[in-house]
């Protein structure tokens, strides 16, 4: 596919008529929108459009389609695979002003939000309704971005990912058409599943402007706990047995010893600097006690420490803040670095083997590497921290990542559990599923024939 | 799209070389494969191929593609929207000999089966593993067919539908390419979600030959119960409150008074001939007691009878047999009839209104109509039973169905909760989502440009 993009100038004047001062070409704003939280080279768009309605997005896309100018949807810029860089220039559509919560249907346990509403904004809004939205990727991402990248995070082990928690999307297609993918009905067999086609498509098939989400009733009881282990192996084996026993644990997160050291330094905490599990139990009062007792028994079998409990809401928040601080904490181990993050996910029965082999790589590496992850799902991350002045360490980090991906694929796993493909994992996706990539390209080419939507992400189209 | 299909003769001789006597053109076999359980006109294929491997399916599809001959995948023929009729002739691929359970990964709670494995065969195979597969559409359908039609049924209120319980599919594309859509990893963000694209595509985008399914741990305790109500309104209001209270009920099924009358006649049972709920509770011993007590309280509020309990496995099976006999029981109310079945699904808060309006239609109808359904999901069915010798009653039934669909759409619902589109709901799908249908057509045309895969189903392509 050749991509002869048009010059942006004509588009800019027409966009300015449409948006007034909500279109900006200021260098600072363009810079800000030219990168996510990864180390991928910043590539600013030609202009940033701050939109307020789906109809505006549609009008912008129509203009861009007419002039063959690329379009990149932007939520909060918290992706980590180079998702928002304007590789071929073009217009960045910033969704942050589309931040209205359009309806909360308490009786139906669902809500509809504009794409720019953030996770914490929704959490705040739902306070006092008795309902909550479980998907928690850590960052205060926008719900549009979370849908576009199929986000998950710490609660997925019990509540699933965005794939299981979106009922319907409103999407602007590459020619400006507006499509509603589903209804508020809890289930549907009405034609092809367009909702799931757009979840995880990373802005390359359409621009998500509204999301209808499933909500969940607040649990009667919630208890959080932390527990340390002498080795990662012990911690992982305990996780595997917890999952295989069918205990409906809500969160079970691994952090290795170096990760705990980094958190202690960053967050002024005093955890033992050895592998930890952070856990959470949801259910009825008796259900939570049943689960907690069963899991404590398992921890003892694998040399786990006594659990330190947090049950009051503020104590739980404090405990989980340490977990959510993991990424900035890790970066401080190597000031000035851009972390290279890995994201494999394997069947739980292969997790111990995958991690054991990976630890050998970590031990042999010349730079600091922390390990953490949503191990109840078989998904874990390394943050590899090359020294900013030693480019050879970047090569070493990438080679390690590639070995890890191949290891995961050989164990029936995937190169990306939750971070998506972006620019960073295009080759890995091809390696994982060459036949599938052919089908993905067919879909991309038919829905976006001029390759205007977030070009250069997810798929290589030049073959 | 014009569909100039090729003559089938050359294909037949080449297929015979490939399959020997597993290719048949016998009239009886073709008849049998020319219809599902609906009243849609039987249209036999030109030949039926009994396949044993994915590679055979691929070879057949390649031959058919070369000669431009339609291909229809066939599981057990238990669909009810005219899914398998050979509208343009062609080759029916019968999957029943692809009935191997390829692996059960107990530690990972998953299994991989060939598409012809049936629901009860898998249930039998999993006995003694401590695991079960929850999707239960009633009929002993093939798992390939269940994936292709996005089946659900009685357990969906707790365990979800095929959409939530398939990890990966092996699919033969319209040109014979073989694609694996996912991995055994519990979650993945690796590119577009091809798995969900094929679930519910009804054999029109590819032919599913293998399915990797999520399994669930058997619950410690299971209790089933039945409860009668003076009116459907009472029963529905009790269901709505149960769901809104967040009680994790496993099954909650409505059958109206006429339905109970039909079951009594067919199954020689002695239920009161008034509206009933059939319920099931799954969990720990204490959890099931908690749930059951809460639901019994709610039933009392809405004038429900005392619960009749079944806890032993054989008693529960007997109780649910009555529910699963509903469709054949209903048909006996009008011997010789072909039922017209409806399948709307609405948000639970709109269910009472939807059913109240629909009961007015039922009361005014000139033929028997029974109501039953998976009301915990907001999904219910009518079986409308026109007299076989009175064609005007078919028109009346279809008009009633159309009114019901429009009612459901106006209430934020869908025309099909679980039966799919087939031939029967193409117009309804267009009415429900005209913009979405345009996208579906784009996808169909790019993945099956000659319209060879189950043509005439899901979408109208001649515009």
What fold characterizes domain B334-423? Alpha-Beta Plaits (3.30.70)
Domain with CATH 3.30.70.2190 in chain A: 221-325
State which residues of chain A have pLDDT below 50. 1
Residue linked to tokens 């345009």: B438
pLDDT tens-digit series, residues B406-430: 999 999 999 999 999 999 999 999 9
For the record, the structure tokens of B96 come out as: 């029943």
Instruction: State the pLDDT at residue A374.
Output: 96
CATH class of the domain defined by A101-217: alpha beta
Sheet with A308-310, strands from edge to edge, namely A308-310, A221-228, A276-283, A251-255, A369-374, A379-384, A340-341
Yes or no, beta carbons of B177 and A438 under 8 Å apart: yes
Of A108, A246, A286, the CB nearest to B347: A108
Q: Nearest CA to CA, how far is B21 from chain A (Å)?
A: 32
pLDDT tens-digit series, residues B311-341: 999 999 999 998 989 999 999 999 999 999 9
List, in sequence order, the alpha helices (H) in B98-149: 119-126, 143-148
Sign of the Cα pseudo-torsion (B292, A246, B156, B331, in order): negative
For residue B174, CA distances in Å to B68, B72, B393 come to 11, 11, 40
Q: Pick A221-325's CATH classification: 3.30.70.2190, 1.20.1250.20, 3.40.50.300, 3.90.650.10.
A: 3.30.70.2190
Between strands B276-283 and B379-384, the pairing is: unpaired
3-state helix, strand, coil in chain B (%, to 5): 40, 20, 40
Mean pLDDT of B338-358: 96
- Phi and psi, residue A268, nearest 5°: 55, 40
Domain with CATH 3.30.70.2190 in chain B: 221-330
Domain with CATH 3.30.70.2740 in chain B: 334-423
| Closest residue on chain B to A106 (Cα) | B244
Mean pLDDT (chain B) is 96
Between strands B110-114 and B101-105, the pairing is: antiparallel
pLDDT above 70 for B163 = yes
**Interface contact B293, partner A, CB < 8 A:** no
Between strands A221-228 and A216-217, the pairing is: unpaired
Pair A342, A402: CB distance under 8 Å? no
Pair A418, B413: CB distance under 8 Å? no
Banded pLDDT at B284 (limits 50, 70, 90): confident
Q: A187: which chain B residues are within 8 Å (Cβ-Cβ)?
A: 152, 156, 161, 163, 345, 377, 379, 417-418
Domain with CATH 3.30.43.10 in chain A: 9-96
Mean pLDDT (chain A) is 96
Yes or no, beta carbons of B437 and A193 under 8 Å apart: no
Q: Identify the CATH number of the domain defined by range B221-330.
A: 3.30.70.2190
Instruction: State the pLDDT at residue B177.
Output: 98
**Which DSSP string corresponds to B350-365?**
HHHHHHHHHHHHHHH-
**Interface contact A437, partner B, CB < 8 A:** yes
Sign of the Cα pseudo-torsion (A347, A349, A352, A354, in order): negative
Of A161, A181, A189, the CB nearest to B150: A189
Instruction: State the pLDDT at residue A1.
Output: 45
Instruction: State the pLDDT at residue A81.
Output: 95
Q: B150: which chain A residues are within 8 Å (Cβ-Cβ)?
A: 189, 193
Burial class (CB in 10 A: 0-12, 13-18, 19+), A175: middle
- Distance between first and last Cα of chain A: 7
What fold characterizes domain A334-424? Alpha-Beta Plaits (3.30.70)
pLDDT tens-digit series, residues A259-279: 999 999 999 999 999 999 999
Q: What percentage of chain A carries pLDDT values higher than 90?
A: 94
Cβ neighbours of residue B412 under 8 Å, at least 6 residues apart? A183, A184, A185, B346, B347, B350
Q: B416: which chain A residues are within 8 Å (Cβ-Cβ)?
A: 188-190
Cβ neighbours of residue A258 under 8 Å, at least 6 residues apart? A273, A333, A368, A369, A370, A371
Q: Which residues pair with B373 in a beta bridge?
A: B254, B380
Domain A9-96 has CATH 3.30.43.10: yes
Q: Is the ipTM of this complex over 0.90?
A: yes
- Distance between first and last Cα of chain B: 7
Yes or no, beta carbons of A447 and B439 under 8 Å apart: yes
Q: What is the gyration radius of the CA atoms in chain B, in angstroms?
A: 22
B93 closest CA partner among B70, B114, B122 = B70
> How far is it, in rounded angstroms, from Cα A368 to Cα A345?
22
Q: Nearest CA to CA, how far is A421 from chain B (Å)?
A: 6
For the record, the structure tokens of A34 come out as: 């030219």
Q: What is the gyration radius of the CA atoms in chain A, in angstroms?
A: 22
Its pTM surpasses 0.90: yes
pLDDT tens-digit series, residues B110-156: 999 999 999 999 999 999 999 999 999 888 999 999 999 999 999 99
> How far is it, in rounded angstroms, from Cα A97 to Cα A145?
14
For the record, the structure tokens of B201 come out as: 């595509």
> How far is it, in rounded angstroms, from Cα B176 to Cα A122?
46
**Interface contact A427, partner B, CB < 8 A:** no
Sheet with A91-94, strands from edge to edge, namely A23-24, A47-50, A91-94, A71-74
Q: A442: which chain B residues are within 8 Å (Cβ-Cβ)?
A: 446-447
Instruction: State the pLDDT at residue A143.
Output: 98
Instruction: State the pLDDT at residue B1.
Output: 45
**Interface contact A294, partner B, CB < 8 A:** no
> How far is it, in rounded angstroms, from Cα A178 to Cα A156?
30
Pair A90, A72: CB distance under 8 Å? yes
Virtual torsion, Cα B386, B389, B390, B396, nearest 10 deg: 30
Instruction: State the pLDDT at residue A463.
Output: 58
Tell me A6's DSSP state.
Answer: P
Of A190, A217, A417, the CB nearest to B189: A417
Residues shown for chain A: 463
Yes or no, beta carbons of A161 and B187 under 8 Å apart: yes
Domain with CATH 3.30.465.10 in chain B: 101-217
**Interface contact B190, partner A, CB < 8 A:** yes
H/E segment holding residue A259: helix A257-267
Q: Nearest CA to CA, how far is B105 from chain A (Å)?
A: 9
Pair B397, B431: CB distance under 8 Å? no
- Counts of helices then strands in chain A (DSSP H, E): 17, 18
């Amino acid at each position: 596919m050749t991509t002869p993009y048009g010059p942006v100038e004509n588009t800019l004047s027409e966009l300015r008529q449409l948006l007034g001062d909500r279109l900006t070409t200021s260098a600072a704003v363009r810079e800000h929108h030219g990168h996510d939280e990864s180390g991928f080279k910043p590539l600013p768009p030609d202009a940033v459009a701050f939109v307020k309605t789906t109809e505006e997005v549609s009008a912008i896309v129509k203009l861009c389609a007419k002039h063959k100018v690329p379009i990149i949807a932007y939520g909060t810029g918290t992706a980590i695979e180079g998702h928002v860089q304007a590789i071929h220039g073009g217009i960045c559509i910033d969704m942050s002003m589309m931040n209205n919560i359009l309806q909360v249907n308490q009786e139906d346990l669902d809500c509809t939000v504009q794409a720019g509403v953030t996770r914490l904004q929704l959490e705040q809004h739902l306070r006092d309704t008795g309902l909550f939205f479980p998907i928690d990727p850590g960052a205060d991402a926008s719900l549009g971005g979370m849908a576009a990248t199929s986000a998950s995070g710490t609660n997925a082990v019990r509540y699933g990912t965005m794939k299981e928690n979106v009922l319907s999307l409103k999407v602007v297609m590459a020619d400006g058409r507006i499509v509603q993918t589903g209804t508020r009905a809890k289930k549907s067999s009405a034609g092809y599943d367009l909702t799931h086609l757009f979840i995880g498509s990373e802005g390359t098939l359409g621009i998500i402007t509204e999301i209808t989400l499933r909500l969940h009733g607040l649990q009667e009881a919630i208890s959080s706990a932390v527990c340390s282990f002498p080795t990662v192996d012990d911690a992982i084996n305990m996780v595997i047995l917890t999952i295989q026993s069918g205990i409906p644990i809500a969160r079970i997160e691994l952090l290795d010893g170096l990760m705990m050291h980094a958190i202690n330094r960053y967050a002024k905490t005093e955890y033992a600097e050895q592998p930890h599990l952070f856990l959470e139990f949801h259910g009825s009062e008796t259900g939570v006690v049943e689960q907690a007792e069963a899991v404590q028994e398992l921890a003892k079998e694998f040399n786990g420490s006594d659990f330190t409990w947090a049950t009051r809401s503020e104590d739980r928040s404090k405990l989980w803040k340490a977990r959510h601080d993991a990424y900035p904490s890790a970066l401080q181990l190597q000031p000035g670095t851009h972390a290279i993050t890995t994201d494999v996910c394997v069947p739980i029965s292969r997790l111990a083997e995958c991690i054991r082999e990976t630890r050998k790589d970590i031990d042999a590496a010349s730079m600091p590497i922390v390990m953490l992850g949503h191990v109840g799902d078989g998904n874990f991350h390394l943050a590899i921290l090359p020294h900013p002045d030693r480019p050879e360490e970047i090569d070493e980090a990438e080679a390690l990542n590639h070995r890890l991906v191949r290891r995961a694929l050989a164990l029936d796993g995937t190169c990306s559990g939750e971070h998506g493909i972006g620019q960073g994992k295009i080759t890995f996706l091809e390696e994982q599923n060459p036949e599938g990539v052919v089908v993905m390209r067919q879909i991309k080419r038919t829905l976006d024939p001029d390759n205007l939507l977030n070009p250069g992400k997810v798929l290589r189209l030049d073959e």
